[in-house]
Amino acid sequence: MSTLFGPHFIDAHGHASDHLGCLHGRVFVADGEHVHLPGAFAVPGLCDSHLHLMGMGWAIDQVDLMGCDSVAEVRQRITQWIQDHPTASVIRGRSWNHTRFEAQRLPCASDLAGLTDKPIYLTRQDGHACWVNQRLLDQSGVNAATEDPFGGLIMRNDTGSATGIFLDAAMPLVAQHMPDPTEQQVRRWLDHALDRCARAGLTAVHDVDVPLQSFYELERLDALGQLPLRVYCYLRDEPESWRILEERGFRWQGSGGRLNLMGIKFFADGALGSHGAAMLCAYCNDPGRGLVLLNDEELLERITRCQELGFQSATHAIGDAANRSTIQAIIGAQQGDHRLRHRIEHAQILALDDFELLARSGAIASMQPVHGTSDMPWAKAWIGEERLRGAYAWRRMQTHGVPMAFGSDAPVEPVCPLAGLQAAWSAEVANGRIPEPWLTAHCLDFAQALAGFTSGAAYAVHREHEFGRLQPGYAADLTLLSGDPRASERGWFGVEVVGTVLDGEQV
């Protein structure tokens, strides 16, 4: 038994104190050994409700293209990386974003000419498009006669030849010619990703679209007691994943107690930045309506299968058409039974009529507030002011009683819960850019934003009676901060993470 002192403890539900009793890793109203914690402000352990651990780790072995403002800058970073890694057999990079380039032009294979004779594979920031060089195009055998796969698009020039840009389901046409990661690489990547999460102040994460290589390594770390935070997994949609679900049963927990298997991840559509989000009407700056990756029948079949096995489905849906189809599939699969709490990952753009439908479904809106601030410079030009009323609509979700869980989508965005909290609270970004009025209209109050990363995140994984609050019986998981964001001119950007507590023990 101990009593934790140091910060001012507060949660999203009005519970505040200058000390916290702790017994067997749980919050307890008691006195005992006095443990002084660093920092001036403590909240329930922050949870990132949507990220990709293996993708975060893999980034350390790729060219970092985040923030590049031109093709010339991309070329410069690749050139430097090749000089620093002369023995690499292939070049991978990630996080290019053509909305930052001049005229927002999609690049092509010729833009990578002359850099190397090795294959180059560069993933767009959202992970839903790739840009390759001519060497990899030649290896893949893709030509003017190659048909677009369902749910994918090969960008072509006037003669029908591939330009070097592949969207969504077309990406494997070239990705399959790149080497698979080794077991040693996966171990190193996960160690790196988990360490970054812990240093960012997270005590739990929801890892979505988890490859089996990653899941088995997380299972090994948990058995050894080496997971530094709680991990809730939603496996990649592949046959072996379904076998694991059938074998292990709902809410399976690893032997170390920190790894949890919650369900499986699907993709209803692509991403907004690559015009792959499935829309009810055409984009304002493109004649297309995006890409459907699973049709209505396929969505219903998969979510129904999850329902029958007792697992959650976690469906990626960004465009208003994809969200409508996903909500309808969830309702059809549940047949009135809301106990599993199926999830919609992103829930980024909804038709205004569909918020009530989503609320009736009981599904979780697993959203990433930083997507709103990242997309803010160009979203209005792409989807128009009317659709923005239902886009990044955290307040509208709250008003309709839709349960929300917030995350970062790392490595699409940096793993930084403080940036997500600030985005949901005020739509501000670290560089000081003035928020657009359409986005600030969607913002939440301080407690509501905090709930998305604490009690809301816990509810999304059926742990609302164990985590996310500072009440007796709840786990003593804490994120320790240098100060109170409400007292800082820069809000959450004006404070720093100084430590975490897991099960009452300082990490």
Rounded average pLDDT over 2-15:
86
Phi, psi of 44 (to 5 degrees): -55, 150
What's the pLDDT score for residue 59? 93
The number of beta carbons lying within 10 Å of the beta carbon of residue 144 is 11
Domain 49-53+184-467 has CATH 1.10.3720.10: no
DSSP line for 444-503: --HHHHHHHTTHHHHHHTT-TTTSSS-STTSB--EEEESS-GGGSTTGGGG--EEEEEET
pLDDT score recorded for residue 23: 82
Partners of 67 in beta bridges: none
| Contacting residues for 302 by C-beta, under 8 A, at least 6 apart | 237, 264, 266, 294, 313
Q: Are 272 and 319 in contact (CB under 8 A)?
A: yes
Domains of the chain by residue range: 1-45+470-507, 49-53+184-467, 58-175
Give the pLDDT confidence score for residue 19 in this predicted structure: 83
Tell me, what's the pLDDT at 463? 97
Residue 470 has pLDDT above 80, yes or no: yes
- The partner residues of 5 in beta bridges, in order of sequence, read 19, 36
**Residues sharing a CB contact under 8 Å with residue 158, sequence separation 6 or more, in sequence order:** none
Q: What is the tens place of the pLDDT at every residue in 350-389?
A: 999 999 999 999 999 999 999 999 999 999 999 999 999 9
**Among candidate residues 370, 459, 496, 499, the one with its CA nearest the CA of residue 12:** 459
| pTM recorded for the entire structure | 0.95
Mean pLDDT for 486-506 is: 95
Name the residue type at position 482. Answer: S
In the predicted model, what is the mean pLDDT of residues 314-321?
98
Architecture of the domain whose range is 1-45+470-507:
Roll (2.30)
Percent share of the chain, pLDDT over 70: 99
Position 430 scores a pLDDT of 81
Residue 156, CA distances (Å) to 120, 159, 476 in order: 18, 8, 55
Residue given tokens 């804490």 in the structure block: 478
Q: What's the rounded mean pLDDT across residues 171-179? A: 97
In this predicted structure, what is the pLDDT of residue 99?
A: 93
Could you tell me the pLDDT band of residue 427, with boundaries at 50, 70 and 90?
very high
Angle between helices 354-361 and 320-334 (to 10 degrees): 30
Identify the residue whose tokens are 């809410």: 251
| Average pLDDT, integer, range 487-506 | 95
For 292, residues 6+ apart whose C-beta sits below 8 A from its C-beta are 151, 268, 269, 278, 321, 322, 325
Q: Would the pLDDT of 30 be above 70?
A: no
pLDDT tens digits, one per residue of 384-424: 999 999 999 999 999 999 999 999 999 999 999 999 999 99
Instruction: Name the residue among 229, 270, 227, 204 with its Cα closest to residue 50.
Output: 204
Answer for the pair 469, 44: CB distance below 8 angstroms, yes or no. Answer: yes
Q: How far apart are alpha carbons 82 and 59 in whole angstroms?
A: 15
Q: What mean pLDDT, rounded, does the chain reach?
A: 95
pLDDT in tens, 98-114: 999 988 999 999 999 99
The answer to whether the beta carbons of residues 222 and 215 sit under 8 Å apart is: no
Q: What is the pLDDT of residues 239-292, one digit of tens each?
A: 999 999 999 887 789 999 999 999 999 999 999 999 999 999 999 999 999 999
Choice among 16-20, 83-87, 270-274 with the minimum mean pLDDT: 16-20
Peptide bond into 377 cis (omega under 30): no
> pLDDT tens digits, residue range 113-140?
999 999 999 999 999 999 999 999 999 9
pLDDT band at residue 29 under the 50/70/90 scheme: low
Per-residue model confidence (pLDDT) at position 468: 97
175-183: average pLDDT: 95
Average pLDDT on 63-77 reads 96
Residue 72 scores a pLDDT above 90: yes
**Do the domains at 49-53+184-467 and 58-175 have one common CATH topology?**
no
Q: How confident is the model at residue 27 (pLDDT cuts 50, 70, 90)?
A: confident
- Give me the pLDDT at residue 24, please: 83
Instruction: Tell me which of 3.40.47.10, 3.30.9.10, 3.10.310.70, 3.10.590.10 is the CATH number of domain 58-175.
Output: 3.10.310.70
For the cut 70, the answer to whether the pLDDT of residue 32 exceeds it is no
% of the chain exceeding 90 in pLDDT: 89
Residue 262 near residue 204 (C-beta atoms within 8 A): no
- With 70 as the cut, is the pLDDT of residue 298 above it? yes
Torsion angle in degrees (nearest 10) through CA of 205, 206, 207, 212: 110
Angle at 231 between CA 482 and CA 217, to 5 degrees: 125
Contact 348, 391 (CB under 8 A): yes
